Structure 1
Amino acid sequence: MGIDYYNILKVNRNASVEDLKKAYRRLAMIWHPDKNHTKNKSEAEAKFKQISEAYDVLSDPQKRQIYDLYGEEALKSGQVPPPPPSSSGRGYYSNNYYNNNQQQHPNPNFRFNPRDAEDIYAELFGGSDGGGGGSGGGRRFKEGYFRNNVNGGESSGSGSSVKKAPAVENVLACSLVDLYKGAKKKIKISRTVLDSSGKIRNVEEILTIEIKPGWKKGTKITFPEKGNQEPGVIAADIIFVVDEKPHDVFTRDGNDLVMNQEISLLEALTGKTVELTTLDGRNLAIPVMEMVKPGDELTVANEGMPISKDPRKKGNLRIKFDVRYPSRLSAVQKSDLRRVLGGS
């Protein structure tokens, strides 16, 4: 029998027109290329086209009669297959039927003319005049008629225009550790959707965001059409914009990490080992051998933030020194300093 249209729509063979509509609406909401956001876009388009063809055949009494009697090939070719050798009288190709009807097509003038997938979708979801013409004003599947235009809307060949709701932006607060190591955040949203019957209902959904090492403040993550659904309006995109929480030790400057380090005057003159814990939990001991003047900066290569385009590479760590002078010196200390530094 070829393609099993009943199985495609998940209905039984006695399904009414209303049953077919409900089944089509439910599956179209899953596989419509504008609603389905799987990585395999071609699979969604093929599934949606198959669903539309199944509904087209089973909702048309004449097409359904020929399909039920002879199958898909006969429906599309217009040629009645020969009767099978069995005389059991059971199944779609019943010998009794052939004997009684002399193996003639129920309607010799019938020509299979499939309706456009978008015309069907528009008819059942209220996006067109509802006439459901076979080759009228709908957008063509082969021409990629599900693509949104650059102005954020969709238009059909019939001249109607479907507006897309403005994008909704939300702040995604991330710690510097999240942006250094990468993280996964799950965010619960509440939105309105159209069910298979076209009614609006509230649902909750979990959106998962994979934060990549090295992402910067201002990075945007877009979830297409995850906003509220309303009749006649394409749902808004939801956009999360990365923001950076302050860190106790480090600040970020591009791909570099910057930290302030206060040292005493004695340490500035005689040297010091700066000890710190990195954002990924490593303990570093950085020796400062040269004399440090106020405002000096020490650069430690490859200890900054990961570079998002190549996380194996990192920026630098920059240590800015602030020399802490003593609040007072005794006469003896001053004398000792003059003796030690006087000849310098």
Structure 2
Amino acid sequence: MGRDYYTALEINRNATDADIKKAYRRLALKYHPHSNRQPGACERFRDLAEAYDVLSDLRKKATYDKFGEEGLKGGIPPESAENGAWSQGYVFHGNPEKTFRQFFGGDNPFADFYTADGHEVGIDFGGLRGRGVKKQDPPIERDLHLALEDLFYGCTKKMKISRRVMNEDGHSSSIKDKILSINVKPGWNEGTRITFQKEGDQGPNSIPADIIFIVRQKPHPRFNRQNKDLIYTADISLEMALTGFAVEVETLDGRLLTIPINDIVDPQYSKVVPGEGMPLSSSPSTRGDLIIHFKTHYPEKLTAEKKRLLKQALAT
């Protein structure tokens, strides 16, 4: 009498495709040679693979249900073949690990036992040649683009991520969304790194990666930033550079500063307004400076009379 594939998978003949998959998952994990060193486990593991290979294929299963193992492996005469039944003799490929890897795919709980090309890694008495210990996946880095106002006041950013998480059975996984909350502190600098530990993809053979968000400051229409200081560039005429003027600057918090400039503005000149820059992340009540640079626009041409007057005015 031929073997009973249903008995091998511990299911009855009315089992659905889902029942077959569930049974194979449970028993293959139980009798896998890397988790079960009991006598007979390897043979049992092979029987499970062959049973699943047959019962998970509709044509093979139809032939087996009608003609048994003998008919399945011996081949069915053309006059007996019907309803898509398998008409040639079935031969199991003989590699239970192949069936196992195809079934579990990326969720293979014994993936660390194999090289990239699927060959099994040897085992020493000390264990799996250094590969049995779980290793953490490399960190995942993402840019966090923030406006200068966000870094001035501070804010909360909600970041949605999609990651693979293990299901309750401990073997399969699914993709789920998660919201990560980032509390941006006033004064954070470009390049600040915010780490969420082990929020990457979960897997049976690895430690989830850390997710790291890196602050990237968006360009601002009025200011450039240098650490704790804000840089503002004012456009002025040559007349203003030589005779004095007042420059108006709208701050990040909406105030309008009027700063008198009584000095002669040469190309190296800048005006420092203390305490009007960015807050310090370590001490938000302390602020850097506002530094005003000037871009002087020279006249494109002068009349002879204006040149004469300028020479007269600038003569020492």
Question: Structure 1-normalised TM-score?
Answer: 0.52
In structure 2, the gaps of 5 or more residues are 1-108, 111-130
Residue matched to 1:211: 184
Residue matched to 1:56: none
Residue matched to 2:263: 290
**How far does residue 160 in structure 1 lie from its aligned partner after superposition?**
5.2
The secondary structure found in structure 1 opposite 2:232 is strand
Amino acid corresponding to residue 219 of structure 2 in structure 1: P
Question: Structure 2-normalised TM-score?
Answer: 0.56
The secondary structure found in structure 2 opposite 1:294 is coil
Runs (4 or more) in structure 1 with deviation over 3 Å come to none
CA offsets per residue over residues 284-315 of structure 1, 9 Å max, x none?
11111122112211111011111110010011
Tell me the distance in 1 between the aligned counterparts of 2:238 and 2:252: 29
The secondary structure found in structure 2 opposite 1:161 is coil
Tell me the distance in 1 between the aligned counterparts of 2:235 and 2:311: 25
The secondary structure found in structure 1 opposite 2:163 is strand
**How far does residue 224 in structure 1 lie from its aligned partner after superposition?**
0.9
Pick aligned residue for 1:248 from 221, 224, 229: 221
Residue matched to 2:142: 170
Residue matched to 1:230: 203
CA offsets per residue over residues 310-330 of structure 1, 9 Å max, x none?
010011111112221111111
Amino acid corresponding to residue 164 of structure 1 in structure 2: Q
**How far does residue 207 in structure 1 lie from its aligned partner after superposition?**
0.9
Computing the radius of gyration over CA atoms, which structure comes out larger, 1 or 2?
2
The secondary structure found in structure 1 opposite 2:134 is strand
Amino acid corresponding to residue 192 of structure 1 in structure 2: R
Tell me the distance in 2 between the aligned counterparts of 1:254 and 1:187: 26
Tell me the distance in 2 between the aligned counterparts of 1:335 and 1:232: 86
CA offsets per residue over residues 85-138 of structure 1, 9 Å max, x none?
xxxxxxxxxxxxxxxxxxxxxxxxxxxxxxxxxxxxxxxxx89xxxxxxxxxxx
Tell me the distance in 1 between the aligned counterparts of 2:191 and 2:312: 56
Residue matched to 2:6: none
Quick one: percent identity of the two aligned structures?
A: 44
Pick aligned residue for 2:249 from 276, 279, 298: 276
Tell me the distance in 2 between the aligned counterparts of 1:285 and 1:195: 63
Residue matched to 1:133: none
The secondary structure found in structure 1 opposite 2:313 is helix
Tell me the distance in 2 between the aligned counterparts of 1:295 and 1:306: 26
Q: How many residues align?
A: 187
Amino acid corresponding to residue 284 of structure 1 in structure 2: L
